[in-house]
Each structure stands twice: as C-alpha cells, then as structure tokens.
Amino acid sequence: MKLLSLNESDFFRQLSHGGLGLQVGTMNIQVRSSIESVGRGLRVLYGDYPLLDSKDFIDFYVSLDRPNGLRRWFRPQVNFLFDGISPFKPLPLDHAFPMFEWGFNWCVVNSMHTYLIIHAAVVERHGRVLIMPAPPGSGKSTLCAALVSRGWRLFSDELALISLSDGTLSPLPRPVGLKNQSIDIIRKFAPEMSLGPVVKDTHKGTIAHMKATDESILRAGESAEAAWVVLPKYINKSETNLEPLSRARAFMMLADNSFNYGVLGEPAFHALAKVVDRCQCYRFSYSSLDEAIATFDSLEP
C-alpha cells in the first residue's frame, strides 16, 4: 500500500495525529506533523513509497511541530523532534519540509552505524554503482539528478551506505535536493521529472527536491557493488575532463567525506578498502550535463 493510496483527508488526519510510517530503502520512518507544507511535500515526493502498518519496526520516530508560545503566531517557526528530542534550533515555518529532509539525514548519520556512511551522491547502472563524493558547491546533486533523469538508478544524492561486512552499497532513494540555479537547470534539462515546492531563503539558499524515479523506489531493496569513484566539479564554461585518480587518493577522499569512519575504526577501514579495490577512480570536471552523461555512460566497469 502506497502513501497516495490514502485519500487526502485521511492522509492529513493520520499525519497530524498518530503519524504515518514510510519504508524508505532499508529504513522505516514514522512522521507526525500538523504542518500543511510537510504534508504537501510528502504527498508530492513520497507518494509512491510503501506505507507501514502498526506491526512494522520503526527506525526513526520524528515529528515537526510549531513551538508553543508567541512563536506559534509571531514569526512562526518549526521544531524537528527525533524520539521527542530536538537536535536543532527551530527554523522559519515555511522551511518545514526541507527541515524534514535535513533531519532525516541527521537521523541516518547519527544512528545507522551498521553502515560506513559517506557524504556522496550514489547512482547505479547495470548492477554497478557510481560513487561521487564532493563538498557543497561541486555540482554533485545536479549531476546526480541529471543521471537519474537519463536512466541511472538513484541510491542517494547525499549518503553512501556501505556494508561493513562485504562493502556493497545499500540504496536510500529519497528526493534529490537541488539548490539555487540547479533548480532551473534540472527543470530545463529534464522537464519530465517531478519537483516539489520551492522554498526560498533557507541557510542553503533556495531549495527544491526532485522526486526519485519509480524504478529507484521499487528496487530500493537491491544493493550493489561499486565500480567507480568519481570526484566531480562543476566549472562554468569548462571542457569536460575525466582524469585518473589513484586508489590511495580516492580512499583518503572517501574517508575524509565519511560521517562515521572515526567512530567505526578498523571495520570502516576494511569496508572502504573493499570498495576502492573494486573501483576505477577519477577526477571529473564539467560544464555540460549532456557531455557529462555521455562520459559516465561510456565508463567501463
């Protein structure tokens, strides 16, 4: 049963009272909120995700609510709660849905230490995974969205989840976060893709999210091995350039972009070594999405 199988009135009633359970990849989250923008965002971007029933195990209980007191009415705000605890300062009320996405990331990063977690975009083609670790502003989410719109399966635009036992990657297909100019770039490049509401003046600028493809959602239980590690960088008006990167340097870049490498210690080292040993590693700079996609489509495992 999918989220959109609930009619709108039943959906908002359940969301604002007991909450709704959603299966997202290998993780189960229960969301409760009476904030309309949260509900609208969930219906647009998570409408095709499976609903959980009362017997299913929940990994994360989260809620988004207005604070009590004057802030409910004067410059209204939203609080994100995880297991009843607020890990963040409140944000303006119209930032509620992006706060849900950021909070979901926080829950995964701080709780799921059965995985080595890398800050990276991850996509898959023909059973082989491409990992793109990169700092903010590198264009990785824009590139990820473009690849997904051209047939690559979305694992995540933010979090690479690496098994500690065998180094395979698990999908966590969620909406792809786009910022500022990237929103219009993807709208023009892939007009068939569904985008959620545009939210302005966040701490990251203007934000919108691109819905995961049906295939990515349906195949969310299928893990795969990595074949490529690519460090992307958008450079305005540059030529497309793919150059080899040593495995040692790629290992260090992935470790530096990990959220929990230091927490996990030796198991993280061995898991990451398994990933890098299987991969071709590159640096990549681009300005044209069409050329970038052609380059990635030509990669050999």
Q: How many helices (H) and strands (E) does the chain have?
A: 10, 16
pLDDT value for 71:
58
Tokens, residue 192? 């068939």
Indicate the angle between helix axes 8-16 and 36-45, nearest 10 degrees: 120
Q: How far apart are the C-alpha atoms of 11 and 280, rounded to whole Å?
A: 46
**Spatial CB neighbours of 121, under 8 Å, sequence gap ≥ 6:** 131, 132, 134, 140, 141, 143, 144, 156, 157, 158
pLDDT value for 251:
97
Count of CB atoms within 10 A of residue 113's CB? 15
Tokens, residue 278? 């299987």
pLDDT value for 301:
72
φ and ψ at residue 77, rounded to 5 degrees: -130, 175
Please list the residues that pair with 224 across neighbouring strands. 169
Tokens, residue 135? 């700092």
Tokens, residue 56? 């299913």
Q: How far apart are the C-alpha atoms of 32 and 114, rounded to whole Å?
A: 26
Q: How far apart are the C-alpha atoms of 213 and 230, rounded to whole Å?
A: 22
Count of CB atoms within 10 A of residue 259's CB? 19
Using left for φ > 0, alpha for ψ between -120 and 50, and beta otherwise, residue 44 falls in: alpha
The pLDDT tens digits along the chain (301 residues) read 999 999 999 999 999 999 999 999 999 999 999 999 999 999 999 999 999 998 999 999 999 998 876 556 667 899 999 998 999 999 999 999 999 999 999 999 999 999 999 999 999 999 999 999 987 778 899 999 999 999 999 999 999 999 999 999 999 999 999 999 999 999 999 999 999 999 999 999 999 999 999 999 999 999 999 999 999 999 998 999 999 999 999 999 999 999 999 999 999 999 999 999 999 999 999 999 999 999 999 998 7
Q: Where are the domains of the chain?
A: 3-111, 115-297
